[in-house]
Chains A and B, each alone.
Chain A
Amino acid sequence: MSPLRYILEKEFKQIFRNPAILKVIFIMPVIQLIMLPMAADYEIKNINIAVIDRDHSAVSNQLVQKITASNYFKLVSYDNDFDAAMESIENDKADLILEIPKNFEVNLYNEKESKLFLAVNAINGVKANLGAAYLTNIVQAYNSDFRIETLTPVRFNEIPIIEISSSNWYNPKMNYKIFMVPGILVLLITIVGMNLSSINIVREKEMGTIEQINVTPIKKAHFILGKLIPFWVIGIVVISVGFLIAWLVYGIIPLGSYFTLYVFAAIYLMVILGIGLLISSYSENQQQAMLVTFFIMMIFVLMGGLYTSIDSMPIWARWFTRLNPISYFIEVMRMVVLKGSRINDIAPQLLIMVIYAIFINTWAVLSYHKRS
């Protein structure tokens, strides 16, 4: 029997004897997968708006009604004093100020033109941007309605209007959960895998058992494989639990096959665990390993294409994301889940992961020295 069998037996026993590890493996991912997608919503609602209406006309009333009826905005103050509105922005009560000037209605009828003033609280950049965009949309829609109703008939309209009607392919209802859940699942198995593997070898260093191992004729590759395989199995189990939750809670069933996803996940886990073991073999103690893992994980997650779009990053950052395994898996996950991509469609990403896995794990084996 190969020594590897004994190493695996020992590793599995140690893992299942540690109640903390079991919680990390099973309970945390379940909670996170149920909680995060509900909270991490891209749609911005509840934008607080303060309206300064100096006109108090039928038109200004109509406009404010349109805005509040949209569900995106919450009217926090309706006043004709700019200072009061400004104060509500300063107290963080309002995100936007819309000022409707005096004679708004009169100008609109007589001069066919009128102005609105919009002030945005840009401390929360996303909310400010989207809020301004939504509001512009509403005003524009109101504008064209107004024109049709009150001014010249459509055929005499001197300004041609291009109307864009879009349809969302692969996610027709733009359900952000279909978009987020597979991505969050990728993050989960990455976090679980990298954390567990990164504190493993270093734990043996702290306990002093690594010295006893190093004085045996154990082969380096056996030792590393003995560390890798148990976490690989755990990773596959975690992702299966994740698929189950995605189906039960969110009704997400990949358009493509589970087989394709598992093939990619299998290789991907080798990369992630290899990185963890590499960190572990260079670290002196568990704190150090965890800190380094945390740092790498932050960059991987934030530049992985889930919370930020890779296409809108600067070119150097886009090059950098090519070293980020998370970005490949998130891309593949979306291709397979939303578009139904098959194994030959994801072949380029798969090939990169295979090369990555070989590189990282060879490095991990070489970085582990039995002799100092």
Chain B
Amino acid sequence: MNKNAIVVNNLSKQFGQFKAVDDISFEVAKGEIFGFLGANGAGKTTAMKMLCGLSMPTSGQASVAGFDVYKENESIKKNIGYMSQKFSLYEDLTVRENIKFYAGIYGIAPQKIKEKTNQLLQQLVLEKEADMLVSQLPLGWKQKLAFSVAIFHEPQIVFLDEPTGGVDPITRREFWNLIYDAAANGITIFVTTHYMDEAEYCNRVSIMVDGKIEALDSPGNLKKTFNAKSMDEVFLHLARKAKRIE
């Protein structure tokens, strides 16, 4: 088996005249926490959707969990988890029902669903809220639940698209603890974020500007290369060059 979870070569996505993703290449190692940064409209979400099999690439190659994004997109889906920018659990179902539904469509055995659900509710301290409608939960709890649902079927890789947007600092901290736990269990994390303190938590980060990857290294090395004190400075230095307006 390949030691890389994700391999991307010259991947592009064009909408008419607009190159949303312009010839990007990178690799993500198994078990890595990979930060995918960029300003709004830089093409992060588009790139991520191609890797998840939600969007067809225009050109280039990519493989996820060893499967080709063009031909084996349904095999990729069995091996990944995904949490989108927009909260996407069913608001009119309870916590427990959401877990059961998503676990069920991944084909997990009913007995196992039951056991793991109780375990998860305990871990998230959501036991009391288990039979409440998801719409009644505060945002931070929803995000933690969405993440847990995304990795419930034990995927090899999980894609997180701005998972902590609009969440308070304490909950963000808790959220990152969940991410570390998942990484410790061998799940590769591919995460986009706007928070530069979160970028510091990643093993490696890439910074996208106008559809291209402008920098890719560990946060420590990036700071050295750009002679910056923080990731914030690195990001501002690169993102200022952007010509695209959202």
Binding site for B on A (CB under 8 A): 1, 3, 5-7, 9-10, 13-14, 17-18, 207-209, 211-218, 370-372
Which residues of chain B come closer than 8 Å to A371, judged between CB atoms? Answer: 53-56, 73
**Mind listing 9 A-B residue pairs with CB under 8 Å?**
A7-B101, A9-B104, A208-B88, A212-B82, A212-B89, A212-B102, A215-B52, A216-B105, A371-B73
A370 to B52, CA, bound (A): 11
B50 CB → nearest A CB, Å: 9
Tell whether, in the assembled complex, residue A14 and residue B101 are in contact, meaning their CB atoms are under 8 Å apart: no
Alpha-carbon separation in the docked complex, A9 to B99 (Å): 13
Q: How far is the CA of A201 from the CA of B77 in the complex (A)?
A: 21
Q: Cβ of B82: which chain A residues have Cβ within 8 Å of it?
A: 211-212, 215
Q: Any chain A CB within 8 A of the CB of B92? A: yes
**Is A370 touching B89 in the complex (CB atoms < 8 A)?**
no
Chain B contact surface mostly:
loop
Contact A10 B55, CB 8 Å, known A208-B88, A209-B88, A217-B77:
no
| Contact partner, A370, options B54, B87, B105, Cβ 8 Å | B54
Cβ of A213: which chain B residues have Cβ within 8 Å of it?
A: 105
Q: Is there an interface contact between B101 and A212, defined as CB atoms closer than 8 Å?
A: no
Restricting to B110-129, which residues have a CB under 8 Å from any CB of A? 110
Within 8 A of A (CB), among B39-72: 52-56
Does chain A have a CB within 8 A of B80?
yes
Q: How far is B149's CA from A213's CA once the two chains are assembled, in angstroms?
A: 12
Q: Take A14-B90, A209-B90, A212-B82 as given contacts and tell me if A372 and B101 are in contact as well, using a CB distance cutoff of 8 Å.
A: no
- CB atoms of B55 and A3 under 8 A apart: no
The reply to whether B80 and A215 contact each other, CB–CB distance below 8 Å, is yes
Closest to B75 in A: A217
Chain B residue at minimum C-beta to C-beta distance from A369: B56
B60 to chain A, nearest CB (A): 16
Chain A, Cβ-Cβ closest to B88:
A212
* B residues less than 8 Å from A7 (CB atoms): 101, 104-105
Q: Which of B78, B92, B105 contacts A6, CB < 8 Å?
A: B105
Asked whether, in the complex, the Cβ of A211 is within 8 Å of the Cβ of B102, the reply is no
Closest CB pairs A-B (n = 9):
A6-B104, A208-B86, A212-B88, A215-B82, A217-B77, A3-B105, A217-B78, A10-B101, A208-B88
CA gap between A3 and B109 in the complex, in Å: 10
Known contacts: A13-B93, A217-B77. The answer to whether A3 contacts B54 by CB under 8 A is: no
